[in-house]
Amino acid sequence: MAVDRVKSRRPLQRMEDLVSLCARRGFVFASSEIYGGINGFWDYGPLGAELKQNLRGFWWQRVVRERADVEGIDSAIIAHPRTWEASGHVEHFSDPLVDCRTCKRRFRADQLDEPCPEAPGERRVEACDLTQPRNFNLMLETRIGASSDAAAIAYLRAETCQPIFNDFKRVREVARQKIPFGIAQVGKAFRNEINPRNFTFRSREFEQAELEFFCHPSEREKWFEHWREERLRFHRDLGFGEDVLRTRPHAPGELAHYAKAALDIEFQFPFGWQEIEGVHDRGDWDLSRHGEYSGKHLGVTDEVTKEHYVPMVIETSLGIDRLALALLVHAFAEEELEGGEQRTLLRFPPFLAPVQVAVLPLSKKLAEPAHALERELRRRLNVFYDDSGNIGRRYRRQDEAGTPFCLTYDFDSPGDGRVTVRERDSMEQVRIASAEVGAYLAERLAVPA
């Protein structure tokens, strides 16, 4: 069949174009939008929720289910307040804050790179009338129970890893795991960011996927390299090449005082290279501190050598929201077709696409058999049904949603038992038997091994 040919293709140039598409198609939009939104908080609509769910599932499959040496947990968002004293968050988890006497806004003192909204022209924040920097703790406080005294204060977790350390002893025992092994979880974390920015990249509520891998001190370098390579493989399987993905080892002056090594896996956004995941050698800091503050020793004894030691920790920490944003940026393309028509599409890897296949009957008169095909596919795939408007416009709507395959059920389909499959990126169309559609799609939507 005739196929539209691409004359030129342009990747994402301006974040504003992606923000507009995300709102228009229901990926991401401001939380409490009807009230004007709330800075640093975002809601994921139908397509965004599916994209994040697919990302979580792929991460969980790779990190937890495919490995016998990793266990998954789902911990509470609120932990005992002593958790955050032991981790150092209560005392040290802060950013330098300055106030502008001109515009009354607050900024991070180490990120003064924005125009001041009250200053003429493009005058930068550095030229504003700023106060002296002071530390601003990023922990979000809440209260537990009816009491209003200091004993009722708790914190929304600033990272998902600290509950993992709290649960280390219990999980090791119930899962009958021996060192080396890991504990992983996906969940929400909260930071009272001074200046949320760059769409969903820096938010006050976000989602992390973290692994804490516990090993013998003599093997920490080996496992650091192992997890570095595993995490890079994960990102390459998302379609990220060397043009948009790099690693940046931390210089000695950047390392946390307890860390022996750390590196960032960075993605090239329109606003520059930014971290989407970190790999860290945290040493025995966390288990030792929680052992000290709780009074429960968290060391282990080797059954063979009888050596007693506190395990070292290799951490991988992925921002799900940041990764979803990276996928949206990487997938976004604007194309000019021969004949002058324009189309916008999201070139997601098929196995991650929010909608995997759209069923498009050529006429509403074909609704009954088309719905039957839809119901059959829904048993295994996420399917969208659309019979509104001409077929070209329906294709364009699915291109913007990132749907990799569209099935057109036409007037010949009831007689010959065949449907037309249209592929998103190439726009090529093939006609196959309805009975073969499931196997055809399963092969092309398979998750990388």
Beta pairing class for 94-99 and 134-137? antiparallel
Longest dimension (CA), the chain: 78
Among 135-149, 220-234, 376-390, 391-405, the least confident range: 135-149
Q: Is the pLDDT of residue 134 over 70?
A: no
CATH 3.30.930.10 boundaries in the chain? 24-89+148-328
Averaged pLDDT for residues 274-292? 96
Position 11: which residue type? P
Among 425, 389, 420, residue whose Cα is nearest residue 406? 420
CA distances from 421 to 285, 342, 440 (A): 55, 22, 10
Q: Which residues contact 449 (CB under 8 A, 6 or more apart)?
A: none
Q: Is the pLDDT of residue 99 over 80?
A: no
pTM: 0.89
How many CB atoms sit inside 10 A of residue 395's CB? 21
Q: What is the reported pLDDT for 258?
A: 84
Q: What share of the chain is helix, strand, coil (3-state, %, to 5)?
A: 35, 30, 35
Q: Is the pLDDT of residue 439 over 90?
A: yes
CA distances from 21 to 52, 101, 277, 346, 356 (A): 17, 36, 25, 10, 19
Q: What is the reported pLDDT for 95?
A: 62
Q: Is the pLDDT of residue 43 over 90?
A: yes
Q: What's 355-444's CATH class?
A: alpha beta
- The 3-state DSSP class for residue 434 equals helix
Element holding 118 (H helix, E strand): none
Averaged pLDDT for residues 324-343? 94
Confidence at 105, pLDDT banded by 50, 70, 90: confident
Structure token digits, residue 166: 């709290």
Q: Is the pLDDT of residue 115 over 70?
A: no
Averaged pLDDT for residues 176-189? 97
Q: What is the reported pLDDT for 437?
A: 96
Averaged pLDDT for residues 215-226? 97
Q: Check if the beta carbon of residue 184 is closer than 8 Å to that of residue 171.
A: no
Confidence at 194, pLDDT banded by 50, 70, 90: confident
Q: Is the pLDDT of residue 125 over 70?
A: no
Confidence at 97, pLDDT banded by 50, 70, 90: low
Q: Is the pLDDT of residue 126 over 60?
A: no
Q: What is the reported pLDDT for 88?
A: 84
Q: Which fold has domain 24-89+148-328?
A: BirA Bifunctional Protein; domain 2 (3.30.930)
CA distances from 102 to 97, 117, 229 (A): 16, 9, 49
Averaged pLDDT for residues 199-221? 97
Q: Give the residue with greater pLDDT, 336 vs 150.
A: 336
Confidence at 103, pLDDT banded by 50, 70, 90: confident
Among 29, 54, 23, 56, residue whose Cα is nearest residue 43? 29
Which residue shows structure tokens 């930068």?
124
Q: Distance (Å, rounded) from C-alpha 165 to C-alpha 298? A: 9
Q: What is the reported pLDDT for 150?
A: 66
Task: Quote the Cα angle for 441-328-208, to 5°.
Answer: 100
Q: Is the peptide bond before 180 cis (omega within 30 degrees of 0)?
A: yes
CATH 3.40.50.800 boundaries in the chain? 355-444
Burial (CB count <10 Å: 0-12, 13-18, 19+), residue 350: buried
Query: Within 13 A of 1's CA, how many CA atoms are on the CB side?
Result: 13
> What share of the chain has pLDDT > 90, as a percent?
77
Confidence at 23, pLDDT banded by 50, 70, 90: very high
Q: Check if the beta carbon of residue 361 is closer than 8 Å to that of residue 432.
A: no
Q: Is the pLDDT of residue 85 over 70?
A: yes
Q: What is the reported pLDDT for 205?
A: 95
